[in-house]
């Protein structure tokens, strides 16, 4: 089939500091505001090619390859997503689509890939649709639009389209904030956080025990939901203060509280899930002891899984890598970890 146009985007994963956990009624509307660091080394790279359609008619024509191999499971998910956004993207009706995607991180590393994958896909579609039309959006509007459609694919993906740090979810604390799309936040970020480090310690690479979609839905009956949403608002306000002033202690206290709350919420959901592993707990213990002994600002956060995201300023990297080698590597599955840091955001690949 003749290729008529194509684009390639690399888009990163992100790690939430204040977590999105729970949805309001509506389409992908978060129950509380969240904020995240954009990562650098964990990313998806997606090429979308537009082909001549094989058949005239209403069906969306899509072939999807992950790591060079046809992937039916992802293709079906993507088709469902495309059906839901086709009125906004005429190209989905007019062309056949060939999509190739890869991740920089191993599939079985327990790193959530929906944020990077859905943001790379949404940006690529927005880019192609813009190329086909005759209206060029400002960079700001383009990224709002990309974030909006990334959100419809996966909520946390909305936050992956900006450099360094991004906020999503309507809150009186942040002017211009929205439930529909994330907004950039880098102007508010103290210098120390602009080069912040994130070492991802792989406690287990096993498949997730519960999908995010199911996890979010369990908040509907969680007895602590109301308190949690109020806590998230408060934590967002406070962490923004710390992110502006460079208050590492406050930053770390809130980050760890958010991680522990996320897991506590899952433990007291019905049905209940324990997503930490014994090594996660052992690592948390060692990190807290190390901090107590050295007074170095080394804190952790967690995703909806067992892996630890160690967060620390660049100027203590040397000490921290010594600590990791001496005390944490042995707790990682096959000694596996990924060195990452706060990153520059999506990039078009020429």
Exposure on the CB side of residue 220, measured as CA atoms within 13 A: 9
Minimum distance between the CB of residue 17 and ligand DP6, rounded to whole angstroms?
A: 9
Minimum distance between the CB of residue 61 and ligand DP6, rounded to whole angstroms?
A: 25
Residue from 10, 19, 148, 228 touching ligand DP6 (CB under 6 A): that is 19
**Nearer to ligand DP6 by C-beta: 49 or 160?**
160
> Residue with CB nearest ligand DP6?
155
Residue from 144, 216, 309, 341 touching ligand DP6 (CB under 6 A): that is 216
316 within 8 A of 297, measured Cβ to Cβ: yes
89 within 8 A of 167, measured Cβ to Cβ: no
What are the start-end ranges of the H helices in the chain?
A: 72-85, 91-94, 114-132, 139-153, 191-194, 212-218, 225-245, 248-267, 278-294, 317-323
16 near ligand DP6, judged by CB under 6 A: yes
32 near ligand DP6, judged by CB under 6 A: no
For 255, which DSSP code? H
20 within 8 A of 32, measured Cβ to Cβ: yes
Q: Measure Cα distances from 336 to 113, 202, 314 in Å.
A: 18, 6, 21
228 near ligand DP6, judged by CB under 6 A: no
Stretch that binds ligand DP6, among 89-97, 192-200, 208-216, 331-339 (CB under 6 A): 208-216
Residue from 45, 247, 303, 333 touching ligand DP6 (CB under 6 A): that is 303
181 near ligand DP6, judged by CB under 6 A: no
Tell me the backbone φ, ψ of residue 274, rounded to 5 degrees.
-105, 110
In the complex, the residues that contact ligand DP6 under the rule CB under 6 A are 16, 19-21, 28, 34, 112, 114, 154-156, 212-213, 216, 262, 303-304
């Amino acid at each position: 089939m003749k290729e008529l146009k194509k684009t390639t985007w690399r888009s990163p994963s992100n790690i939430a500091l204040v977590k999105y956990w729970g949805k309001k009624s509506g389409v992908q509307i978060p129950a509380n505001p969240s904020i995240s660091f954009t990562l650098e080394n964990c990313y998806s790279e997606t090429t979308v090619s537009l082909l001549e359609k094989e058949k005239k008619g209403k069906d969306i024509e899509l072939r999807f390859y992950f790591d060079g191999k046809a992937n039916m499971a992802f293709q079906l998910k993507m088709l469902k997503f495309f059906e839901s956004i086709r009125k906004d993207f005429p190209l989905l009706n007019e062309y056949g689509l060939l999509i190739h995607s890869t991740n920089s991180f191993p599939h079985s590393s327990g790193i959530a890939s929906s944020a990077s994958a859905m943001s790379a896909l949404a940006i690529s579609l927005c880019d192609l649709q813009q190329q086909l039309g005759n209206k060029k959006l400002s960079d700001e509007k383009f990224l709002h639009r990309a974030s909006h459609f990334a959100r419809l694919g996966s909520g946390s993906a909305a936050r992956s389209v900006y450099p360094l740090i991004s906020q999503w979810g309507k809150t009186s604390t942040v002017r211009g904030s929205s439930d529909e799309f994330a907004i950039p936040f880098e102007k508010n970020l103290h210098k120390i956080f602009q080069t912040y480090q994130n070492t991802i310690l792989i406690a287990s690479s096993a498949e997730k025990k519960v999908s995010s979609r199911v996890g979010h839905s369990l908040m509907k009956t969680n007895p602590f939901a109301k308190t949690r949403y109020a806590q998230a608002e408060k934590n967002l306000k406070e962490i923004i203060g710390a992110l502006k002033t460079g208050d590492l202690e406050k930053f770390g206290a809130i980050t760890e509280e958010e991680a522990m709350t996320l897991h506590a919420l899952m433990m007291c959901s019905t049905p209940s899930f324990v997503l930490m592993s014994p090594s996660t707990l052992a690592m948390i213990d060692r990190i807290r002891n190390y901090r107590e002994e050295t007074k170095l600002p080394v804190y952790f956060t967690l995703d909806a899984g067992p892996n630890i995201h160690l967060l620390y300023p660049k100027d203590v990297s040397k000490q921290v890598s010594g600590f990791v080698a001496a005390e944490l590597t042995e707790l990682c599955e096959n000694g596996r970890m990924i060195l990452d840091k706060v990153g520059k955001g999506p990039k078009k690949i020429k």
